[in-house]
Structure 1
Amino acid sequence: MAPPSRAGSPRARIALLAVLLLAAGCSATFQPRGPAMRAPDLTAERIVTPDGVALPMRAWLPEPDGPPLRAVVLALHGFNDYSNAFEGTGSFFAARGIATYAYDQRGFGAHERPGIWPTADTLIADLHTAASLVRRRHPGLPLYLLGESMGGAVILSALAGPPPPGTEPLEPAGTILSAPAVWDRDSLTALQRAALWISYRTVPWLRLTAPRELKIRPSDNIEMLRGLSRDPLVIKGTRVDAVEGLVRLMSRAAAAVPELPAPALVLYGLNEQVIPRAPIEKALAALPRHVDSAVYEEGYHMLMRDLQGETVLRDMVSWIGNPSAPLPSGADRRPFTRMAGSGTAGSGTAGSGAARTEMAGP
């Protein structure tokens, strides 16, 4: 048997060099916002940011012979999803005089580098840019922010801090957060934290998909989930460094919950299986008194796309019209007292077959 290598021996130096090379090849990859190089712009199909990045955009506007335009909504999608998530919502709103704009957030959908995490600060800066452009497109109309899951985390984080350099304050007329992602690092188990810590520092490039055995259902709308599973713009496998970025964003959003300005409406479903119960209860308990919350007995994570999604949308339209009035469904008078299941780390793509739509939950 060969004797142990000494620190200065050729074998030891080779081993040390191999470790250093391995470490150098395991750095995380992000796509943060670059320096401003042009004025931002809003076209029919995209938002162009100050650093020259084009974010694909969709808009749903009332028909010329339809109801008069009375409000504008800027919507942010969830993790691994994209702007098409608001197809049904935008059409529903447009028929009731509300315009909706939604864009593929940097790193998602038809963006040129899908799957590469953009950093929370970049997502927040893009939101400020988009809100300013949409507000200029519709001067004089109230602008509402709508965030689903990760989109809700971006909005929470943005509202809690000062506007990024070169941007304007958000100051929305109101905010609606549908199952906002507030699953912070402290809410992960010790095993989950350790697994993420190790994998982020060794294999940040590794793409993960959730085991079928988890069988987590983000919605009871199976046909919709099957459509997402076939959609090439929905990310099916998530890089470890993107999961780490998401956890950082969710932790930031969870800390921002007590600072959520009114008027605001926060929605969750009793059948939520993507975000665990503990962080949801923690978030609801931390909401300021002047912020409204609604709990849907039949609701899952994708509330607006669930089979009872129209009930949720009707509540949203009613709230936009009069935030102080009770919701038509009565969901604002229902406590968050039980759940059908709870998520686990890395469970967002989870579920069987068609439900494999999101990674790490939100």
Structure 2
Amino acid sequence: MGDSAFYFHGDDGARLLGRRWLPEGPPRAVVQIAHGLAEHSQRYARLAAALNQAGFAAYASDHRGHGPSAAPGDLGHFADRDGWAIALGDLWTFNRLIAAEQPGAPLVFFGHSMGSFLGRGFVAAHSDALAGAVFSGSNGKPPALAALGRLIARIERLRLGRKGKSALLNQMMFGDFNKPFAPARTAVDWLSRDPAEVDKYVADPLCGFPFTTQLAVDLLDALAALARPESLAPIRKDLPIYVFSGEKDPVGANISGLIDAMQAAGFTRLTTRIYPGARHETLNETNREEVTADLIAWLDGVAGGSR
């Protein structure tokens, strides 16, 4: 057991950071973790330890522009062009590395927040290579104002450049998340009801950093594409899918829209759970042990029961 960090290379030769946490003995299944915007893979060490205890391996990679291996000038930036597609390609490269290291083990994709949005594109392209998919802190169709956000993101990109960082865009995309929790103790109370977990995020220099105008364009364009029902069409209908969220998650304000879309798409093995009172990072919430136990119970079903 324990975290083993290593480097791998993207299709363009970029050096990327991966982590593996392995159980004692052959894993029952492997969980590939994709983290959210302005965080990093090491934050999933506690989840990985619980997965290891249950007999599962966990692998996580830092997206470009994230984590300790990102150059300071690249923090919060995927790429000047085609960043979303490049990030998806990195996830597939990492998936194939995992498959080579753990031959025959079922592979389950787990994506949180932005990782869930990347994950929905990833699963649409590669559901035949997966035994299951988990989406945490995700969302359904964006509000009508999102189209205005896409326009503003392009204007800010023209004004500041692709690597420019816009206070307006950061406020538009994240600043309002704290409003439901006023009077707030910090700017990120929306993450969790647990003040110790919030404080760890605030103290982490690799969390909460501003993102570039280009990444904002990448993300907002991807959300618009994911809102279309046809985005779910390529996913095989018998893939086990688990969607979970906090009831008070401002990112997942329309999580019911995603669940409705998946039900309408005809997925036969869809499981959903909304945790009352919980905020965005349910795995770091006051009821995180319950959330983790529920995830492991679902994974037990995917992996075929107990060891």
TM-score of the two chains, using structure 1 as the length reference: 0.68
Counterpart contact for 1:47–1:103, Cα < 8 Å: no
Counterpart contact for 2:193–2:286, Cα < 8 Å: yes
Partners of 1:314 and 1:130 lie apart in 2 by: 26
Q: Match for residue 251 of structure 2?
A: 274
Partners of 2:63 and 2:246 lie apart in 1 by: 25
Partners of 2:36 and 2:207 lie apart in 1 by: 10
| Structure 1 residue identity aligned to 2:260 | A
Asked whether 1:244 is paired with 2:221, we answer no
Counterpart contact for 2:139–2:251, Cα < 8 Å: no
Q: Which moved more, 1:174-183 or 1:301-310?
A: 174-183
* 2:191 match: secondary structure: coil
* 1:55 match: secondary structure: strand
Tell me which of 72, 75, 82 is aligned to 2:40.
82
Tell me which of 113, 117, 122 is aligned to 1:153.
117
CA 270–156 in structure 1, closer or farther in 2 if over 3 Å, else same: same
Higher helix share: 2
* 1:217 match: secondary structure: helix
Higher-Rg structure is 1
Tell me which of 23, 32, 54 is aligned to 2:15.
54
Asked whether 1:253 is paired with 2:232, we answer no
* 1:69 match: secondary structure: coil
CA 207–109 in structure 1, closer or farther in 2 if over 3 Å, else same: farther
Asked whether 1:199 is paired with 2:156, we answer yes
Asked whether 1:100 is paired with 2:58, we answer yes
Q: Measure how far apart 1:235 and its partner are.
A: 4.1
Q: Match for residue 217 of structure 1?
A: 190
Tell me which of 16, 30, 34 is aligned to 1:72.
30
Q: Which moved more, 1:223-232 or 1:206-215?
A: 206-215
Asked whether 1:305 is paired with 2:284, we answer yes
Equivalent residues in 2 for 1:1-362, closer than 5 Å = 44-63=5-24, 69-110=27-68, 111-112=70-71, 113-118=74-79, 119-161=83-125, 171-182=129-140, 184=142, 187-188=144-145, 192-204=149-161, 205-208=164-167, 209-210=170-171, 214=179, 215=184, 217-255=190-228, 256-257=231-232, 259-261=234-236, 262-275=239-252, 277=253, 279-287=254-262, 288-289=265-266, 290=268, 291-323=270-302
Q: Which moved more, 1:198-207 or 1:314-323?
A: 198-207
Q: Measure how far apart 1:292 and its partner are.
A: 2.0
Partners of 1:49 and 1:175 lie apart in 2 by: 23
Q: Measure how far apart 1:240 and its partner are.
A: 2.4
Q: Measure how far apart 1:232 and its partner are.
A: 1.5
Percent of counterpart pairs with the same letter?
Answer: 24
Consecutive unaligned residues of structure 2, counting only runs of 5 or more, are none
CA 93–197 in structure 1, closer or farther in 2 if over 3 Å, else same: same
CA 77–183 in structure 1, closer or farther in 2 if over 3 Å, else same: farther
| Structure 1 residue identity aligned to 2:245 | Y
Q: Match for residue 348 of structure 1?
A: none
| Structure 2 residue identity aligned to 1:220 | R
Counterpart contact for 2:154–2:213, Cα < 8 Å: no
Partners of 1:192 and 1:50 lie apart in 2 by: 31
Counterpart contact for 2:141–2:258, Cα < 8 Å: no
Counterpart contact for 2:150–2:217, Cα < 8 Å: no
CA 157–187 in structure 1, closer or farther in 2 if over 3 Å, else same: farther
Partners of 1:69 and 1:206 lie apart in 2 by: 42
Counterpart contact for 2:110–2:134, Cα < 8 Å: yes
Partners of 2:141 and 2:39 lie apart in 1 by: 18
CA 305–269 in structure 1, closer or farther in 2 if over 3 Å, else same: same
Partners of 1:266 and 1:83 lie apart in 2 by: 20
| Structure 1 residue identity aligned to 2:226 | A
Q: Measure how far apart 1:230 and its partner are.
A: 1.3
Counterpart contact for 1:258–1:286, Cα < 8 Å: no
CA 258–294 in structure 1, closer or farther in 2 if over 3 Å, else same: farther
How big is the alpha-carbon RMSD for the aligned residues of Structure 1 and Structure 2?
A: 2.6
Q: Measure how far apart 1:96 and its partner are.
A: 1.0
CA 109–44 in structure 1, closer or farther in 2 if over 3 Å, else same: closer
